[in-house]
Chains A and B, each alone.
Chain A
Amino acid sequence: VSEQPEGFAQFVAARERALQRTAWLLTGDRGLAEDLVQTALVRTWPRWDRIRRRDDPEVYVRRVMVNTWATWSRRKWRGEHATPAMPEAPMPGDIAAEIAVRMAIRNALASLTARQRAVLVLRVFDDLSEAQVARVLDCSVGTVKSTASQALAKLRSDARLTKLMEAETR
């Protein structure tokens, strides 16, 4: 384990934040997002040399993230939940608008199925091509297209999100 695979540290340093952002969109929770990225990287480590040689590592990590999250979200969490109390430290700047966007996106994504959510995040946010999304999710390009279309149709009916998108246009 002390033998760190070549290029792994550079990959983590360069892509960790991008992966966390994707993970947040998948999970809707900062702590879970961090756990998801960490778990995906832990699972990637032993296969790193092989992945580097034959594949795009990021596609592999994202595939592990999506599959891991699918497994986690099937489990029913019976542990304690955090209280809704706000953090004690005030945050700088006007964060009300940002929080409104965050809540709207989180709720909108939560209304989708796990597969629709994964397709949308990978296709729209991570800007992967339909073929790349199909590789990550191990499905056909046609399935990606139809799933993305269904997901977007569902989001169009989300009044709160539509309002925010209209404001974005203005």
Chain B
Amino acid sequence: MSHDTSELETKLRTLMDIAAGEPPRQVTVDAVRRGVVRRRRATSAAAAAAALLLIGGVAAAAAAQRGELGHRSTGPTTGRHSRTTVPGSSGVPRYYVVRNIIPNNGSTPNREDTTIRATATGALRARIRCPLSAPYVITWPVAPADNQNFFLVCQRATGPASYDKVLESRIFEFHVTGSGVVTDDLPVRGGMLGSLLVQRIAATPDGSELAVIAYPGTHPPDLHRTPPDVIVINTRTGARAIWHGALPVAGQTVYWPQDISLTANGQRLAFLTAPQCFQTGCTTHGGQQLRVILHPGSGGGQLNSAGLLVQLNSVLRSPAVSVADAVISPDGSTLTLAVMGPLAGQPGQDSVSIVQVPASGQGAARFVYRLAQANSFSFFSADPSGSHFLLGTGTLNGPVAGRIDNGRLIPLQPGPVSVQAMVW
């Protein structure tokens, strides 16, 4: 090679070196292991599909030979193998999932859409679609496992409105790649929930355990008078544990869940509840509480038997506040609360605050974020590490939605008016 060429190569190498930069450490053995699991699952699903097609073809041929009508074989479902890893990404999640409304021209109902967007730019990267084929399918709720694996509840309904009946609910898992592509819509083992209406879902970071709040969906439920169940699903075995909400009968205080969260090891399920007393003869025990079920996946029971974790008004030292959402940290030591109303020592009546309190109930609350003169709340989400938060709040005329970063709320796309919810 000539002198000129080698000089050119040297300069080019220097420039390439500058251009390639120092990439952040994103590809880990854990991520590769998950990729291997997904690849094997996809291969076995394809093999199962091919086998079914073959069997269907042989059966159809045999039926045709007998002069009978053939029938369509239904698609295969894949079994899940275990996911054994717990990713430990400490950075801000690269993508978030948004549920937003797409307004129509008024003559037809608004549509709803679930999309993946890049945290850094707000750029739309992918649209989430359910594998269920039906005119009305709700692609929500969504829960993150690690930062790039998500669980999605697909709900087939009789119509587009929130009061329409749910005919079929099914949980799927999907993966978002480094470049924001959605892959692998895989049915979750134990995730066929019949005609239940699913309102909330939580997952452990390794995706081995899920919990959902579900209502009977065979008729439009009155969510204020219908006891929900919490269903805990072991995604490795498909086993379920059902925790029943108590019936609203006289003399019994009921603890129905408003939101749920799991610790990283799946050994604790915390749920936010406002004790209710439908008729006389019982008490609401001083307002909202966070209750906890130990080993929720090992066997079901009654939600009323869950232990009291903290009495929220007491731990917040303020009787006039309402907790809109609450999550337990992955290690179970801290509770992060979205609080509406004036906290002790804070000026003004209208505010929305994100505060952290020890799960023991002992110790001071720590402010993560506070927005004064805010009187509406639309959503709150913690990432799988429990250290990054999304919040939708503001006023009815001036909503804001974004991520909390060092005490500031950084707006995220699309604008808050159309956003119903966001999760990491």
Could you tell me which A residues sit within 8 Å of B by CB distance?
1-2, 4, 8-9, 12-13, 16-17, 19-22, 24-25, 29-35, 37-39, 41-43, 45-46, 79-83, 85-89, 98, 101-102, 104-106, 120-121, 123-125, 127, 149, 152, 155-156, 161, 164-165, 168-169
Contact = CB atoms under 8 A, between A and B. Distances in A.
Interface stretch (B14-22, B131-139, B208-216): B14-22
A101 B23 contact: no
18 contacts: A1-B33, A4-B29, A21-B20, A25-B20, A31-B178, A33-B23, A34-B23, A42-B35, A42-B36, A45-B33, A46-B36, A83-B124, A89-B120, A101-B19, A102-B19, A105-B18, A165-B15, A168-B14
Given A35-B179, A105-B15, A124-B16, A82 B35 contact: no
Contacts of A152: 5, 8-9, 12
A22 B180 CA distance: 20
Nearest to A82: B123
Contacts of B5: 149, 152
A12 B26 CA distance: 11
Nearest to A11: B29
Nearest to A39: B35
B178 A34 contact: yes
B26 A34 contact: yes
Contacts of B125: 79-80, 82
A12 B32 contact: yes
A87 B15 contact: no
A165 B12 contact: yes
A34 B367 CA distance: 36
CB-based closest 10 A-B pairs: A31-B179, A34-B178, A42-B35, A82-B123, A21-B20, A105-B19, A87-B120, A20-B23, A165-B11, A102-B19
Nearest to B26: A34
Contacts of B16: 25, 105, 121, 124-125
Interface string B114-133: 00001011111111000000
Contacts, number: 153
Give chain B's interface residue range (CB within 8 Å of chain A). Answer: 35 or more
Nearest to B92: A89
Nearest to A120: B12
Interface in B62-96: 81-82, 84
Given A8-B29, A38-B178, A168-B11, A102 B21 contact: yes
B112 to A, nearest CB: 18
Interface of B: 5, 8-9, 11-23, 25-29, 31-33, 35-37, 39-40, 81-82, 84, 118, 120-127, 177-181, 410
A39 B183 CA distance: 13
Contact of A155 (B12, B31, B32, B122): B12
A12 B27 contact: yes
Contacts of B410: 88
Contacts of B118: 82
B20 A83 contact: no
A31 B177 contact: yes
B344 to A, nearest CB: 34
Nearest to B115: A80
B81 A17 contact: no
A124 B178 contact: no
Given A38-B32, A42-B35, A21 B23 contact: yes
A85 B177 CA distance: 21
A83 B123 contact: yes
A79 B177 CA distance: 14
A32 B179 contact: yes
A29 to B, nearest CB: 7
Contacts of A13: 29
B178 A35 contact: yes
A42 B177 CA distance: 13
B81 A85 contact: no
